[in-house]
Structure 1
Amino acid sequence: MCGITGVFAFNEIGRFNLPNISLATETLEHRGPDFQKVFVGDFVALGHRRLSIIDLNPQANQPMSAENGRYQLVFNGEIYNYKSLKQDLTSKGVQFETESDTEVLLQLLIHEGKDALNKLNGFFAFAFYHQQKEEMLVARDRYGIKPLYYFEDEDRFIFASELKAILKFGINRNLDTNSLYTYLQLNYLPAPMTMVKAVKKLMPGQYAVIKKKSVEINSYYELKATFDNPFQGTYKDAKFQLQGLMEKAVERRLVADVPLGTFLSGGVDSSIISTLASKKVDGLHTFSIGYKDHSFFDETEYANAVAQHIGSKHQVFSLSLEDLYSYLPKMLKSFSEPFADSSALPVYALSQLTKENVTVALSGDGADELFAGYNKHAALYRLWHPGAKENLVSALGPLWNLLPKSRNNPLGNLTRQLKKFADASKLDIQSQYWVLASLQSARQTTDLLSNTVLEDVDFEAFDLWKDNLLSTLNSKSINQSLQLDQEMVLQGDMLAKVDLMSMQNALEVRVPFLDHDVVAFANSLPENFKVNNKRKKMILQDTFRDILPEKIYNRPKHGFEVPLLDWLRTDLKTEINDKWLSKELIDSQDVFDWEGIKSLKKKLFSSNPEDSHAHIWGLIVFQEWWEGYMEQA
């Protein structure tokens, strides 16, 4: 697990960028505090920051070279099947100098080139340079667990683990208004979008070949194909296979030469991972976070029950709102691109506190997108299979409009969900998905943007992107909605959050549910194994029911949320009014419309805030990013 960056110069002008490699690499220190090294050739420079996980020997440092520098590799991630790959290469006469997965990847790429990609079980982003051919291969893992940004023009190709490293090469920092328009609706940016024009994210399952003056991007993995081979067995057969696949996926992710533990929230997903890991690791360390002064969001009761059940060495980090607030400044400064999923804050706190004990943690991320675990999936199922209750909720739409709505208490949250369901019931299936997957409507978004930005937004291009994305959903199919989740929500929101927050604290987080064997199997299952009008994530819950405490099955699902509304109305009220959303700043930026901002702030402090706190949070994150990366341009 590390941070990588590099530049491939197409000409002499591009070569002027090579000396910037050290400064760009230094910006990634938090991703790899153990070691920094750069390689500078005639037309290529590569930089690496190392977080030592497997083979702590200095010989495993990167950039790693072979055959007197003919080949160079910078690599971020882990290859879990590296030992079997190494055996195959050894049988063919390849000799190794280290015990690292990096050297295995290097030798595999030397011998098989891009064909090696389909053999890798792990998560990764890497750049492999063949000096003799003057060619570089850049790739990202199947699901986008590890990030990879890139920039290209007529002079150079630049890549990095984070946007901030690319900015050190002196590129123009022009705001991408289409990305801003998307961000305000979703509160994150799915690949390939970034907030800076000309910088893109490599899509999950893609690779790029860079040589001379060309950049050719292709896919080596297609997510859609995993849905095209339907499972033919019984529900009992499926449970048996799922358990075996998950046991193997967890076991693969326990390989490390540093201390290791698991996140344990008390939800089904992290409880499964922790329970399976405890069968392989004596005295497993588990970690969770709780809220001292907000019981609606506190889930430590369930985490403690699981920890006691499996006999783990459990630590609960119990935080007050004041404690949580103390993490905010550093977390906001850590974003080199706006990311406004507010649950990033507790993940940041959990990662920092966990890092004091271990260097690697396993998490339960990915299960909801594979097995239909969100309220959104239950809502879609009911929209597409309505009964008397669903028809009544839709008919009472005017009533829900009148009642107070909020995420921060049970009644307000229920009313909010009922209103969203009633609104969605009037739409076509693709619009239903978009409404349930987004936080803000197009109309609400345009109300917030200045005329200058609105004139620059290419609405036709946005609609084309959105239509192409939603074209996956051409029938009332939960599995098609899950494919959309995996393509958009999983890689753009959930995985980005975990990577950003954990790596800011030099903690490696591994996600067993995204073992590609598990993903292929989950996506092959019929949707009635996953969800019906009463239950979500059915097969996952049933498969592991015998080894988990019954208590965790009889509880509401909150997700990893924070009591954001209370916080914005108290601790951050002054900064909202005087700093982030002051009239002076809004007018000087010419990015947002003051009347729209003023109306949103009024909503936040009203008796019926609805989702205004999420919209405000997205603006706060953007303003912090703007101050750090655009005002200095």
Structure 2
Amino acid sequence: MCGVVGIYSPGLLPDREILRSMIDAMVHRGPDDSGLWLNEEECVAFGHRRLSILDVSSFGHQPMESLCGRYIISYNGEIYNHLELRSELSDYPFKSMSDTETILAAVSAWGLEPALRRFVGMFAFALWDRRERQLFLIRDRMGIKPIYYSKLGSGWLFGSELKSLKAHPHFRPALNREALNLYFRHNYIPAPFSVYMDTWKLEPGSMAIINSSGLKLRQWWDTDSVWRAGQRSQFSGSDDEAVNSLESVLLKAISARMLSDVPLGAFLSGGIDSSTVVALMQTISSKPVRTYSIGFREDKYNEATYAKAVATHLATDHTEFYVSPRDMLDVLPAMAQYWDEPFADSSQVPTYLLSRLASEHVTVSLSGDGGDELFSGYERYFWATRMWNNVQRLPASVRSFLGGANKVIPDALLDLLGANGFKIRWRLDAIAMKDFSSFYKYFTSVFKKNEIVLGVEEPESCLSNLPPTGNLWGWMELYDLLAYLPDDILTKVDRASMAASLEARVPLLDHRVVEFAASLPMSMKVRDGKGKWLLRQVLHRYVPQTIVERPKMGFGIPMQEWLQTQLKKWCCDMLDSSRIKQQGYLDASRVELMLNRFMRGEILWGQHLWSILMFQSWLEEWE
């Protein structure tokens, strides 16, 4: 795993020292090596930080030039089938075992998009075409690896993280208040937006083509189209055939991701997804797989005991670490540094601590991320459909009346009712929704409307107008695959693991697994009142149901309890009203009201306050 960075500035000479500063801003992404390539005539410069995984020799040094001299690449990721591709590129005189060289050979032989469609892996890279004088920025299908780009005068900057762009002395953009509004709704900023004006995330499965005429965006893979195509041509085999097919495609995906020239392990929570990954890893491996888990002393948040039970059954080499409020306080100041735009999934902290734990022993770790989105694992899918069906049973006249009443009831009046007022507002808002997409967006939002960002409206995003898919469950899966997965889950895993100089691999998001999951009828995902039915059947071949069948917990922290006790001083200091008022971004009086009522135990606004806390932490670190 690595970090990429670069400058394209037609008519201007790139500065070597500036590029070096941008590279050094991402040393955590690649502590093993760094490199730069600069061409003054072509007005382009590439930088790279390297975490050596495949071919740890100097032959894997980047940026790398193709044998023909046409292409320069700075690449972050892994191409798991690169050895298979080499067998089809026998005329290319390879000098290394690096997958970077395989990419260059494939692009030289087949062209860029045909090569991309044959890659199995995770990646974000910059490719300079010296013949056509064009820069390509490319992101993998599911958005596992990140890349940002920004307009700077007549040129462009790009990098794996925003901090690399901020290292450029002329990168001084204004904060994007519209994107900030999206952040407080979702706890993350969905692509293509970033926290800064004129700066964007490249969306999953897309490429940016940049030359002296400007920038064009193109999709080379479209999850939306793949998902809908799968639903139109559904798997028609028996249950046993489906289990066998899923097991087969998972074994291929996991086996490919166990290719490494450095020590390798896995995250294990004891849940269905990570347990399946570890069980299949252990089947493939000739020695005990190294597994890692995080626990809490608070029982309702603690998954470590379940992870240990799975590890014991599979005979893995297991390590666990219990997190305390003190551990939280120790790492909280660093969170804004690692997530260099506002991000408020509270599991970011245990994910970082887990990555740090694993990095003491291994350089690569597999995770079970993606299972909930692919196989309908979220409890909210059950809640949302049940609530929407109840709303639909109400006569249209009743819904219209209640929706109208909701608009005239002052927030101040409902605030006086505490938690009951919050519930009343929530239910009236839900009843007023005209379609399921609006309802689900509202249902999954943190701040349901623009309550605290001053003077701004919410912009349109990929989440705004996603067409129906034919069934509510399939639509929710797709909605989460397009935004929540890449912009929350995968962002969290990338930043947390890279902060610890650890490469995290996600076999469930192999595009062949995604395509198979897209083709499954909902009856093979949801059965007997539970999601992930088919994935469970694969796991039950390796681990008894008595060990893995339990209520879903998630990977959060005891947020409410800790913010009201051990983290109270930190919370109150960060949300000081005078500080927020001086900054001028948020409604200080609203924040003060929320904080006071939360600390008095009147309403459980912990997640809302965590969102504000993470923004305040980011603001202190970066602005």
**Is TM (by shorter chain) over 0.5?**
yes
1:386 Cα shift?
5.7
Number of the residue aligned with 1:530: 525
2:243 match: 239
**1:7 matched to which residue of 2?**
7
RMSD, aligned α-carbons: 2.8
Offset at residue 69 of structure 1 (A) = 5.0
Q: Please state whether the residue corresponding to 1:576 is helix, strand or coil.
A: helix
In structure 1, the partner of 2:223 is 223
Preserved CA contact (<8 Å) 2:279 2:539:
no
Cα distance, 1:301 vs. partner?
1.6
Which residue number corresponds to residue 588 of structure 1?
A: 582
Q: Any idea what SS the aligned residue of 2:284 has? A: coil
Q: Which amino acid aligns with 1:613?
A: G
Q: 1:283 aligns with which of 273, 284, 288?
A: 288
Are the structure 2 counterparts of residues 239 and 533 from structure 1 closer, same or farther at C-alpha, using a change threshold of 3 Å? Answer: closer
Instruction: Describe the shift of the 1:139–1:375 C-alpha distance in structure 2 as closer, same or farther (beyond 3 A).
Output: same
SS at structure 1 position matched to 2:122: strand
| Residues 370-409 of structure 1 aligned to structure 2 (within 5 Å) | 370-383=374-387
Distance 2:526 2:393 in 1: 18
Listed as ranges, the matches of 1:171-250 within 5 Å are 171-227=171-227, 228=229, 229-250=233-254
Q: Which stretch shows the higher mean deviation, 618-627 or 472-481? A: 472-481
Structure 2 CA distance for aligned equivalents of residues 585 and 24 of structure 1: 31
1:39-98 per-residue CA deviation (whole Å, 9 max, x = no partner) reads 1112111000000000010111111123485421110000000001111011xx111000
CA contact (8 A) 2:325 2:567 kept: no
Q: Distance in 1 between matches of 2:79 and 2:442?
A: 37
Confirm or deny that 1:436 pairs with 2:435: no
Letter in 1 for 2:214: S
Match of 2:507 among 507, 512, 524: 512
Fraction of identical pairs, as percent: 34
What is the CA distance between 1:240 and its match in structure 2?
1.6
TM, length-normalised to structure 1:
0.89
Q: Residue in 2 aligned with 1:334?
A: 338
In structure 2, what is the equivalent of residue 168 of structure 1?
Answer: 167
Query: Which residue number in structure 2 is paired with residue 54 of structure 1?
Result: 54
Question: What is residue 411 of structure 1 aligned with on the other side?
Answer: none
User: What displacement does 1:566 show?
Assistant: 1.8
Name the TM-score, length of structure 2 as normaliser. 0.90
Q: Give me the whole-angstrom Cα distance separating, in 2, the residues matched to 1:255 and 1:555.
A: 32
SS of the residue corresponding to residue 301 of structure 2 reads coil
Who is 1:409 aligned against?
none
Map 1:33-44 to 2 at 5 A. Answer: 33-42=31-40, 43-44=43-44
The Cα shift of 1:496 comes to: 0.5
CA contact (8 A) 2:162 2:341 kept: yes
Secondary structure of the corresponding residue to residue 242 of structure 1:
helix
CA drift of 1:402 comes to 11
What code does the residue aligned with 1:71 have?
Answer: Y
Aligned match for 2:104, one of 103, 106, 109: 106
SS in 2 for 1:469: coil
Q: Deviations over 1:250-273 (max 9, x none)?
A: 101000000000111010100000
Q: CA deviation at 1:327?
A: 2.1
Deviation digits for residues 289-343 of structure 1 (CA, Å, limit 9, x no counterpart):
111x311111112111111111101111122222233222222332211111010
Aligned counterpart in structure 2 of residue 309 of structure 1, from 304, 309, 313: 313
CA 1:479/1:534 → structure 2, altered by over 3 Å: closer, same or farther?
A: same
Aligned residues: 598
1:498 maps to 493
Which has the larger displacement, 198-207 or 618-627? 618-627
Instruction: Please give the secondary structure, in 2, of the residue aligned with 1:575.
Output: helix
Greater mean deviation of Cα atoms: 168-177 or 362-371: 168-177
What whole-Å deviation, never above 9, does each CA across 1:173-229 have from its counterpart, x for those lacking one? 201011001101111011101100000000000012222232221010111222213
Q: Separation in 1 of the partners of 2:369 and 2:316?
A: 20
Residue 465 (structure 1) aligned with residue 465 (structure 2): no
> Cα 1:208–1:561, aligned 2, differ >3 Å: closer, same or farther?
same
Partner Cα separation in structure 2 for residue 191 and residue 272 of structure 1: 30
Between the aligned partners of 2:11 and 2:55, the Cα distance in structure 1 is 38
From 535, 538, 541, give the equivalent of 1:543.
538
Is the 8 Å Cα contact of residues 268 and 552 (structure 1) preserved in structure 2? no
Structure 2: runs of 5+ lacking an equivalent: 400-405, 407-413
Question: Displacement of 1:552 after TM fit?
Answer: 3.8
Change (3 A) 1:418 1:323: farther
**Structure 1 runs not aligned, ≥5 long:** 407-414
* C-alpha distance in 2 between matches for 1:284 and 1:405: 47
SS of 2:341's equivalent?
coil
> 2:606: which partner in 1?
613
Residue pair 1:382, 1:533 contacting (<8 A) in 2 also:
no
Partner of 2:277: 273
The separation in 1 between residues aligned to 2:429 and 2:585, in whole angstroms, is 30
Deviation at residue 626 of structure 1 after TM alignment: 1.3
The separation in 1 between residues aligned to 2:391 and 2:443, in whole angstroms, is 20
Amino acid across the alignment from 2:100: T
Instruction: Render the CA deviation track for 1:588-630: whole Å, top value 9, x for unaligned.
Output: 11111121111110122122332x1111111111112112222
More divergent stretch after superposition (227-236 vs 502-511): 227-236
245-254 vs 472-481, which moves further: 472-481
Cα distance between partner residues in 2 of 1:534 and 1:221:
33
Deviation of the 1:152 alpha carbon: 2.2
8 Å Cα contact 2:224-2:482 kept in structure 1? no
Match of 1:25 in 2: 23
Distance in 2 separating the partners of 1:379 and 1:360 = 36
Q: 1:422 to 1:555 in 2, by over 3 A?
A: farther
